[in-house]
Structure 1
Amino acid sequence: MAANLTKQTHFDAIIIGAGACGLMCAVQAGFLGKRTLILEKNSRAGAKILISGGGRCNYTNLHTSHQQFVSANPHFSKSAFAQWTVEDTISFFEIYGISGQEKTLGQLFPQTNKAKDIVEVFTNLCTDLDQPIWLETEVKTIEQVKDGFQVTYERQGKVSQISAPSVVMATGGLPVQKLGATDFALRIARQFGLQVIKPMPALVPLTITGKEQAWYERLSGNSIFCRVWNDQISFEENILFTHWGLSGPAILQLSSYWRAGQEFYLDLLPAQNIIELVVKERTANPKKSLLTILAGLFTRKFAEALQIFLPVDKNLASLSKTDLETIQQIIHQFKVKPAGDKGYDKAEVMRGGVSTDELSSKTLEAKKVPGLFFGGECVDVTGWLGGYNFQWAWACGFVIAQNI
């Protein structure tokens, strides 16, 4: 089908993607008197925002700094966070009627607990600021031309072209395919000669296979507060046993620092010392079984499951030095070697992406391609679970808007 050249009002930038970064960019550009056009493949804006936080949207985290992000350049995000702070995010939403309520570990949710309220702030502002959002519009190609970029897209069955001095790639990452996720931003980066750090699922459940799988299946549904760690990082939050392995906040967090073939460890009782508890109880009740103690610390089901590792039926008086060493190791250094992860459709975000070496940290513009900007999840900056990735997206949108 031949492409038609669309008659248009001048746009300062074409934004690809109506997610957190793209929406914030359009609004902030509008505040500056700049005109943008958002092209969005989905039938609604903010599709991923709407499902975040179980539909409640943890839209920032009070503890945000560059230290909660995984990147080949851990300092890259500092400039964006200096330009758009957590306080800026809170103030922005409060102005438009959304007050935050703090939940676990600094996560901020709207008091209404409705993610759609976050999206409506942006869609209403885009209308007020005359920043159009074209839904169900799929971008086919982006080409550099004399005065900027020419974007070829398909909308309502017609292929057309539109031009602007700048293009903003805000298409997100590879999770979640049912929401239209693609590698389009990465393909565009490669097309223009930009390096891409290998993308992989992050904040993702981990799988256990082989002879150990049956043990995890048996415990499916059990949740335990743990310290989870490897040689890079440590998290203290809940883990969840599943029929295919491990999930829960602590596992999702660690997954961003895990690679296939690596091991990590669980401290199943991070606030107490199991040996001190056993020795103290042995003095008072030497005939009490180890199982009884473990059942008081964990669920009965979990305590019984530990019998393949520990002498749970022994009474405390009969525990040997070797038994105590084994108890110490299993409870405080339980080794896990996952087979893999559950993939992009179960991942919260993507790690990797457009290399930060290719972008200006101050503007997020491609150094080699003036006028081409990348922001949000498609960049090699991946936050922890709990609102950090939204703060990165808002900051990117603000920074880019200042420079288009």
Structure 2
Amino acid sequence: MSKKYDAVVIGGGACGLMCAVQAGYLGKSVLIIEKNDKLGAKILISGGGRCNYTNLYASKENYISENPHFLNSSLSQWTVEDTIAFFEANGIYGQEKTLGQLFPKSNKAKDIIDVFANLCEDLGQDILLNSSAVSVEKNGELFEIIYERNGKDNKITAPKVVMASGGLPIAKMGATDFALKTAVKFGLTLTKTAPALVPLTITGKDQQWFANLSGNSIFSVVSNDKISFEENILFTHWGLSGPAILQISSYWRPGEIININLLPDINIAEAILKERQHNGKKHLSNFLSQYYTKKFVEALESILPIHKNLASLSKEDLLSVENFIHHFKVKPAGDKGYDKAEVMRGGVSTNELSSKTLESKKVKGLYFGGECVDITGWLGGYNFQWAWASGYVIAQNI
């Protein structure tokens, strides 16, 4: 290709698209190299195809990183208000769901993609689909980018390269470790990577008990010694999922125990004592049925004296009920891996990048943004906010 570009962006996801558009506003020419046959593959599947594109309450407290303060610059340069204004200016108006999650009113992730596709066309930014970046080399002041397209290797040069190719989750969506490999190749340090926002598995003697409850969802507080989340959990054939489990998974490490309060707003022992003053003949199973499904209550038969009436429950029985309901201990065997993970934890160390520009400190002209950096957001639009912000920040500096 003979056209001269100010930068080549590797990856046509959230970060890469925002970077190309914002660079275009500044009169900079950018080429996006995208492996898939369409832009924003992960955007299209996010939020069940509805795209939770930001969170009204996003702050650095909602992110995991070895250095959370690194985010301050990016999130102040491009705020949640900036995200909302950007999309509204392009016809996307948000509707808030739970916990500050913002979705397009159309509930169509494709509308988000269309905004970027149209803007890239209007701004003259070029996009190569079905093109896989193979290598990035530095040759003097220029980078040489080799990419494979239609079975042939091609080369293009540019003074700046933006690594926005995402992380390891969901290989079928085109996820690769190309950004991580490129970082290592140039001598940058990586923070250990692992699946995040991922369902957790249960094996051994308890596996069947969880499998039998597959499909049951319970509003809970899920916690470990680091943090707690108050949302639904979902029993599955392999263990546990649901928003609260996905959230805690980013903080969980193998071998650790998770505590689940299955009735966070009511003290179960006090409720039982109050009820038995009026109806001591009621069975514990019937009492619990006001809070849980019949299937879940039946599953408690092997754990709690559910066939006793309330009047005959001993102090030990009450303690057993209280401990199980409010302190349900789970020791996951593992997680469902990158194919089921929403994002990757870890990545290019923030120590390697300028917090103000996201440029590599070691390699002038090389930038990293989005999921490949050691910045992992909570479930609920936080990772998109980081992607938009990092794309904007990089665009100001390429």
| TM-score, with structure 1 as normaliser | 0.98
SS in structure 2 of the partner of residue 335 of structure 1: strand
Which whole-Å CA distance do the structure 2 matches of 1:48 and 1:295 have between them?
A: 40
Paired residue for 1:209, among 188, 197, 203? 203
Could you give the per-residue CA deviations for residues 212-261 of structure 1, whole angstroms, max 9, x where no partner exists? 00100110110010000000110110111011100000000010000111
Whole-Å Cα distance in 2 between the matches of residues 154 and 182 of structure 1? 15
Code of the aligned partner of 1:354: V
Give the structure 1 partner of residue 22 of structure 2.
Answer: 28
2:89 pairs with 95, 98, 108, which one?
95
CA distance in 2 between counterparts of 1:99 and 1:286 reads 54
Structure 1: distance between partners of 2:31 and 2:381: 27
The CA deviation string for residues 90-123 of structure 1, in whole angstroms up to 9 with x for no partner, is 0000011110111111111111111111001001
1:387 and 1:66 map into 2 onto residues whose CA distance is 13
**Match of residue 344 from structure 1:** 338
| C-alpha deviation, 1:159, in angstroms | 1.2
Picking from 243, 248, 254, the partner of 2:237 is 243
- Over the aligned positions, Cα root-mean-square deviation in angstroms equals 0.7
Aligned counterpart, 2:76: 82
Aligned equivalents of 2:44, 2:167: Cα separation in 1: 16
Matched, 1:260 2:278: no
Residue of 60, 71, 79 corresponding to 1:66: 60
The one of 367, 387, 397 equivalent to 2:391 is 397
Deviation string for 1:333-368 (max 9, x for gaps)?
000000000011111000110001111111111111
* Structure 2 counterparts to residues 142-291 of structure 1, below 5 A: 142-291=136-285
Residue of structure 2 in register with 1:3 after alignment? none
Offset at residue 157 of structure 1 (A): 2.5
Query: Does residue 321 of structure 2 align to residue 318 of structure 1?
Result: no
Instruction: Look up the SS of the partner of 1:77 in the other structure.
Output: helix
Corresponding residue to 2:286 among 286, 292, 301:
292
CA distance in 1, matches of 2:59, 2:97: 18
Aligned letter for 2:129? L
Separation in structure 1 between the aligned mates of residue 150 and residue 29 of structure 2, nearest angstrom: 23
Deviates more, 1:54-63 or 1:306-315: 306-315
Letter in 1 for 2:137: E
1:45 pairs, out of 39, 43, 50, with 39
TM-superposed deviation, 1:23: 0.3
Q: For 2:62 and 2:142, how far apart are their aligned partners in 1?
A: 35
SS at match of 2:341: coil
Match of 1:111 among 86, 105, 112: 105
Deviation at 1:327, TM superposition (A): 1.1
Aligned to 1:364: 358
In the TM superposition, residue 170 of structure 1 has moved relative to its aligned partner by: 0.1
Matching residue of 2:114: 120
Three-state SS of the structure 2 residue aligned to 1:311 is: coil
Return the alpha-carbon distance in structure 2 between the equivalents of residues 46 and 287 of structure 1: 59
In the TM superposition, residue 24 of structure 1 has moved relative to its aligned partner by: 0.2
Q: For residues 303-314 of structure 1, what are the structure 2 equivalents within 5 Å? A: 303-314=297-308
Shift of residue 158, structure 1, vs aligned partner: 2.1
| Length-normalised TM-score, structure 2 | 0.99
Question: Partner amino acid for 1:259?
Answer: R
Q: Which runs of 5+ in 2 are unaligned?
A: none
SS in structure 1 of the partner of residue 235 of structure 2: strand
**In the alignment, what sits opposite 2:371?**
377
**1:136 matched to 2:130:** yes
Aligned letter for 1:328?
A: E
Q: Distance in 2 between matches of 1:280 and 1:155?
A: 71
In the alignment, the residues of structure 2 paired with residue 400 and residue 312 of structure 1 have an alpha-carbon distance, to the nearest angstrom, of: 59
Query: d(CA) in 2 for partners of 1:233 and 1:198?
Result: 21
